[in-house]
Amino acid sequence: NIKTVLQTLDELKKNGYSISESQIKKGLFNVSKNTGLLGRWQVLQENPKVICDIAHNKEGLSYTLKQIGEESFKTLHFVLGFVSDKNLNSVVPLFPKNASYYLCKPNISRGMSVDELRKSFEEKGYRVKAYKSVNEALKKAKDIADNDDIIYVGGSTFVVAEIL
């Protein structure tokens, strides 16, 4: 999305609009405030740090997981749910194996069953636990996590929406 924004800004500049680098930086650093868009690398709390992100495809998740790798933490916890038409074979291998997983079904008709999700992760060698709801999975992650851990909530826009 940032590449598209920057390309659009270049086109606007070519058409006579005056947009400074500082304005661009200010806009990009304040996307949530300026647009009301929630759930993009949104830090919900510290100690443990809880981050949610609506990345839900291979490209978005790759970028988000790279960002997580640049964070400082003791243990990484993932609260994840997906929609039923998600090709899990393309996204599950992106996730690190040395993390704790709390799988759940978003509360929509398109939500992937937690049993199907658990099976996909376990077939690829992940140790996971399944929960009835997003809130139950997040509560369990918070109960288990230490103050210097990170809890990431995502996999689907619908999962993030349930906690915001």
Q: Which residues pair with 97 in a beta bridge?
A: none
Type of residue found at 124: K
Cα 55 from Cα 42, distance rounded (Å): 12
pLDDT of residue 114: 96
Reported as a single tens digit per residue, the pLDDT across 72-127 is: 999 999 999 999 998 899 999 999 999 999 999 999 999 999 999 999 999 999 99
3-state helix, strand, coil in the chain (%, to 5): 45, 15, 40
Global confidence as pTM? 0.83
Reported as a single tens digit per residue, the pLDDT across 123-148 is: 999 999 999 999 999 999 999 999 99
